[in-house]
A = this chain, B = another copy of it.
Amino acid sequence: MIIYSLDLAGTFAFALSGAYTAAEKGYDIIGIIVVGFVTAMGGGIIRDLLMNAYPITWLADNTYFWLVVLAAAMIFVLSKWMLKMKNTLFAIDSVGLAVFTLLGVQKALDHHLNPIEAVIMGMMSGVFGGLCRDVITRKTPFIFTEELYASVCIVGGGIYMVLLKLGVHELSRDILVILVVLLIRVLAVRYHITLPKVKGVIEQPGV
């Protein structure tokens, strides 16, 4: 129940981020809804397709769809006001990242994937929606260039597997994973922690 609420919050935050990017790119209201939808649902859809897990989440529960429409409407009506809430949005987005990772790992284990595959699926759930958003709107995928993002999902997934092995109680385990992911993500953004890149081969901007 708590997880479901957090999942909805995460979906809403991801939809907002997609809708906002689409608005910036001059897309119309339908484009804003579609990109919001792809951002919020893309990670879960790709995960479910790869695992042959049907029905796809959003077809089982239309709440997700209406949340996306609500997020797009809010961006449409309140975009300037939303801009001032960047900290709040960032917090919700981080919750979303944590919950999506957790749910991705759990669903993969439910479908009998092995631990490594489950961690990969958790990461995909968390970041592939944002990757789809950046591909459609033709932005450099910030999830691979800015502060820790995909790596946070991998750490979260890894901790989940360790806690599972240790036999930690379900609720404590889930909460712990979410808190760790949140904490690392917040610290990474606060102190601009990035992963190393390969120097000497990076193209000049504009190329």
B-contacting residues of A (Cβ < 8 Å)?
20, 22-32, 34-35, 45, 49-52, 54-56, 59, 62, 65, 75-76, 79-80, 83, 113-114, 116-117, 120, 131, 135-136, 138, 140-141, 143-145, 149-151, 154, 194-198, 200-203
Q: Is the CB of A196 within 8 A of B52?
A: no
| Cα A54 to Cα B53 with chains together (Å) | 11
Inside 8 A of A20's CB, which chain B residues have their CB? Answer: 201
| Cα A25 to Cα B206 with chains together (Å) | 11
Inside 8 A of A25's CB, which chain B residues have their CB? Answer: 140, 202-203
Q: How far is the CB of A105 from chain B (nearest CB, A)?
A: 15
The oligomer's copy count stands at 3
Q: Is the CB of B201 within 8 A of A28?
A: no
| Cα A112 to Cα B143 with chains together (Å) | 37
Inside 8 A of A113's CB, which chain B residues have their CB? Answer: 59
**Extra pairs beyond A24-B203, A25-B202, A34-B150 (13, CB < 8 Å):** A25-B140, A26-B197, A26-B202, A27-B144, A28-B144, A29-B196, A30-B151, A30-B195, A34-B144, A35-B144, A79-B200, A83-B201, A138-B140
Inside 8 A of A116's CB, which chain B residues have their CB? Answer: 62, 65
| A46, closest chain B residue (CB) | B45
Q: Is the CB of A76 within 8 A of B29?
A: no
Given A49-B49, A50-B45, A59-B117, A202 contacting B144 (CB threshold 8 A): no
Q: Is the CB of B50 within 8 A of A195?
A: no
| Cα A118 to Cα B153 with chains together (Å) | 33
Given A34-B150, A62-B116, A65-B120, A198 contacting B145 (CB threshold 8 A): no
Pick the contact of A198: B23, B59, B195, B197 (CB < 8 A): B23
Q: Is the CB of A52 within 8 A of B50?
A: no
